[in-house]
Amino acid sequence: MTVLVLMRHARTGYNAEGRLQGSLDVPLGEDGRRQAREAARALAAEYGTPDRIVTSPLLRAADTAAELSAVTGVPARPDARLTQRSYGVWEGLTTAEVRERWPHELDRRDCGLDPRIEGWGGAADVAARVSEGLAEACEGARLVVAVSHGSAIMLGSLALLGLDVHATVLGKLPHAHWNVLESTGRHWSVARYGHSAASSLADSSPDAD
């Protein structure tokens, strides 16, 4: 069986301001690095040393993956296929600014559809490249950790699970949280959803159910 842990990068300053990043290369701040360290320790304690760590090359993901590498001793391999989708002309804007100028297109995005704006990374294309990178990383491996971005993780997961890439069933994964997929060879399934350092600590508590 292959276990694939899909971890979203820790928070950036842009995240705190509610700005859309997309393909913009925004690094983690000190708060984000602290969040990434906590998540890395919890993930390593729960799952042990992965066979591979792969990451989006964007700084916010690579910096998060570096914290896991520091804990496990496994170097993180960048893979451009795990990069976040482009948000086109929305990049750098707040959601409120987008809502004011493109209300109908933002509604489309919230429903899982591709907004009709310049430069947007279409769901089908993003799902195909991310799932390809994830599947390749899992070849011959027992445990793989992939550090990426919210939309990229969602779309890649939908493709691996054989679901409609416009579905919203997987929701939005918070920063420094992870989902876990498992495969016995032919099919992928969701084993855990929305796990975090806090939930790992709760699971290890003697009073945890």
pLDDT in tens, 120-138: 999 999 999 999 999 999 9
Structural domains in the chain plus CATH codes? 2-19+30-84+123-204 (3.40.50.1240)
Report whether 53 contacts 138 (CB < 8 A).
Answer: no
H-helix segments, the chain: 13-17, 30-47, 59-72, 95-101, 103-110, 123-138, 150-161, 197-204
pLDDT in tens, 160-182: 999 999 999 999 999 999 999 99
The answer on pLDDT for 203 being more than 90 is no
199/209 Cα distance (integer angstroms): 12
Please give the share of the chain, as a percent, with pLDDT higher than 90: 92
Q: Residue 155: left (phi > 0), alpha (psi -120 to 50), or beta? A: alpha
Dihedral angle, C-alpha 12, 18, 22, 28, nearest 10 °: 0
The answer on pLDDT for 114 being more than 70 is yes
Pairing of strands 178-183, 76-78: unpaired
- pLDDT band per the 50, 70, 90 thresholds, residue 189: very high
End-to-end CA distance of the chain, in Å? 26
The answer on pLDDT for 208 being more than 80 is no
Mean pLDDT value across the chain:
94
Mean pLDDT of 10-29: 96
Among candidates 132, 151, 125, 184, which has minimal Cα distance to 9?
151
Q: What angle do CA 156, 75, 175 make, to 5 degrees?
A: 45
Confidence (pLDDT) at 151: 97
Q: How far is CA 89 from CA 22, 63, 97, 116, 162, in A?
A: 10, 26, 12, 11, 30
